[in-house]
Amino acid sequence: MSKFYITTPIYYVNDKPHLGHAYTTVAADVLARYHRMIGDKVFFLTGTDEHGLKIRKSAEKAGKTPQEWCDENSAKFELVWDSLNISYDNFIRTTNPSHIEVVKRAIKELVEKNLIYRGKYEGLYCVDCEQYYSPKELINGLCPIHRKKPVKLVEDCYFFKLSAFQKILLKLIDDKGLIIEPEERKNEVLGFLKSEKLEDIAITRERVRWGIPFPENESQTIYVWIEALLNYLTGIGWQGDPKELPEFWPPDIQLMAKDILRFHAVVWPAMLLALEIPLPKKIFAHGFFTFAGQKMSKSLGNIIDPVEIANLFSSDGLRYLLLASVPFGQDGDISRGKFYDRYNSDLANGLGNLVSRVLKLAKNKKITVYRDKNFQEKVKVIWSNYQKALEELAFEKAISEIQSFISFVNQFIDEKEPWKLTKTDINEFNNVIYTLLESLRHLAWLIYPFMPETSNKIFSALGIDKDEKTKEFTEAKKFGEVKFEKISQCSPLFPRL
Ligand code: ME8
């Protein structure tokens, strides 16, 4: 049994959960469920990022304490993830006292290693980003994200010697000691590391009063990004001793969008190298999507609530549509219209229709085991392509394997015309229906990571209980071993919209 540790970013608690957050979280959930399905020991971490000036300001505006504000907003994320069946193993919040304590220990460790020093920082600071920008990064003198004029600040602060890690990071990324995917994103990081001198990074803030106090000087707080990154360690129970790492460390996949890749591919590994902690195995930065051609943003007022979309298409429907719509890793556009089309074609007419067709044919029939050679070969190929796709995080390819299997089974029904066979060839009828039921069982497995509720409905219609489901995956992948004893009907899985 291998272990599999997967993380999403921890999302800013100041924002409401939106479809962008759901995208990463659903993708991570599909991988977590897939790895559980193949028998791996999985830990799936997500959570909320809860410090910083912006949060304090929003709380003030709402007449709440920052902690109350964080509690309320963080709970919204948990609720949304529950309604999307996100099977996380821990939901880390950076205001957890345990996170705070361990972060302080880690920072002390870096101070002792002389990798943190005191200095003065002067720069152009965007309050909304809580980030300094170099003049080069500004667009017409404005913050590239918020299009606001940054303020000039000078502050006492502590620096982390990021510059010391430039060479080793370059080498690690080049030699695949740290895998960054997709290739295009890796090249971006390499390009940056080759062309620019890494500057030491200011890791404390004087002005930010809602943060973790810097252990050496409590008039300063730790820069939110620095402590937020450490969630990946504190979230699995790290106590702050680099020599005693949790069982699940290092992460097998750290998932995020390209907007925060640099923090994860440069600052984060440098911090780990500094602490002498092994690096994550893979950092994967997927693309950004627009909704109906527009960037989702608070200022445009077009933030899409994932629950609203799940109410239209069901939670499983949304999970499927999110990952079917855009090749993972690339940018793309999604919209309600595209979702309706895909829902109707793939889920209502495709999967849903096939399941109800087969269950009706099998109603009240006693069916004995039969091994169809063609199908045995077909599912072998499907599983192999499907698994390869998921190992590569090519969700859309795994989905197209599922769709191709659905077409294959539909074609088989059309050829065999089983409704006629009851009168002409009862043996052949049995074999055809067995093959169809067995195909549904395979489909239930194939869709499980993507659509767990629907998968469970199919399993229960087939009379397969959960215990049998969890038996060895290699057994489950065989075609023609399972007996079907009590077939029941299920209500339409995906009503046509
Ligand atoms: O950056 N398309 O949190 P955040 C695809 N707290 N993915 C999107 C998206 C879109 N349009 N919009 C958001 C932070 N995302 C920090 C992270 S980690 C130590 C700290 C997803 O709430 C995507 O995963 O701004 C992106 O990386 C993340 O939300 C940013 O979430």
Q: Domain coordinates of the chain in residue numbers? A: 336-476
Mean of the pLDDT values across residues 60-83? 97
Q: Tens digit of pLDDT for each residue in 307-359?
A: 999 999 999 999 999 999 999 999 999 999 999 999 999 999 999 999 999 99
pLDDT on residue 117: 96
pLDDT value, residue 482: 92
Q: What is the pLDDT of residue 72?
A: 98
Bond before 182 cis per omega within 30 degrees: yes
pLDDT of residue 473: 87
At 418-434, the pLDDT tens digits run 999 999 999 999 999 99
Q: Which of 255, 260, 330 to mutate to test the pocket of ligand 1 (most atoms within 8 A of CB)?
A: 260
Say if residue 208's pLDDT is above 90: no
Annotation marks residue 295 as catalytic: yes
pLDDT at 265: 98
**Which residue of the set 57, 64, 76, 129 is catalytic?**
129
Give yes or no for residue 469 having a pLDDT over 60.
no
Residues within a 6 A CB radius of ligand 1: 9-12, 15, 20-21, 23-24, 49, 228-229, 231, 256-257, 259-260, 288-289, 296
48 band by pLDDT with thresholds 50, 70 and 90: very high
Q: 110: Cβ–Cβ under 8 A, 6 or more apart, which residues? A: 116, 160, 271, 274, 275
Q: What is the pLDDT of residue 132?
A: 77
3 state SS for the chain = CCEEEEEEEEEECCCCCCHHHHHHHHHHHHHHHHHHHCCCEEEEEEEEECCCHHHHHHHHHCCCCHHHHHHHHHHHHHHHHHHCCCCCCEEEECCCHHHHHHHHHHHHHHHHCCCEEEEEEEEEEECCCCEEECHHHCECCECCCCCCCCEEEEEEEEEECHHHHHHHHHHHHHCCCCEEECHHHHHHHHHHHHHCCCCCEECEECCCCCCCEECCEEEEEECHHHHHHCHHHHCCCCCCCCCCCCCCCCCCEEEEEHHHHHHHHHHHHHHHHHHCCCCCCEEEEECCEEECCECCCCCCCCCCCHHHHHHHHCHHHHHHHHHHHCCCCCCEEECHHHHHHHHHHHHHHHHHHHHHHHHHHHCCCCCCCCCCHHHHHHHHHHHHHHHHHHHCCCHHHHHHHHHHHHHHHHHHHHHHCHHHHHHHCHHHHHHHHHHHHHHHHHHHHHHCCCCHHHHHHHHHHCCCCHHHHCCCHHHHCCCCCCCCCCCCCCCCCCCCC
Q: Which of 22-31, 200-209, 260-269, 319-328 is predicted least confidently?
A: 200-209
Closest atom of ligand 1 to 289 CA is: 2
Closest atom of ligand 1 to 231 CA is 19
Tell me which residue has its CA closest to atom 14 in ligand 1.
11
Query: What is the predicted pLDDT for the residue at 269?
Result: 98
Is the model's pLDDT at 494 over the cut of 80?
yes
Question: In angstroms, what is the span from residue 219 Cα to ligand 1's centroid?
Answer: 30
Q: Which atom of ligand 1 is nearest to the CA of 257?
A: 27
What pLDDT sits at residue 468? 62
Q: CA 6, CA 46: separation in Å to the nearest integer?
A: 9
**Would you state the CATH architecture of domain 336-476?**
Orthogonal Bundle (1.10)
pLDDT tens column, 193-203: 999 999 999 99
126 assigned to active site: yes
Does residue 470 register a pLDDT over 70?
no
Whether 298 is a known active-site residue: answer: yes
Cα of 456 vs centre of ligand 1, distance in Å, is 31
pLDDT at 471: 66
- What would the mean pLDDT of 447-455 be, rounded to a whole number? 97
- What proportion of the chain, given as a percentage, has pLDDT over 70? 99
Q: Identify the pLDDT of residue 475.
A: 87
At residue 296 the predicted structure's pLDDT band, cuts being 50, 70 and 90, is confident
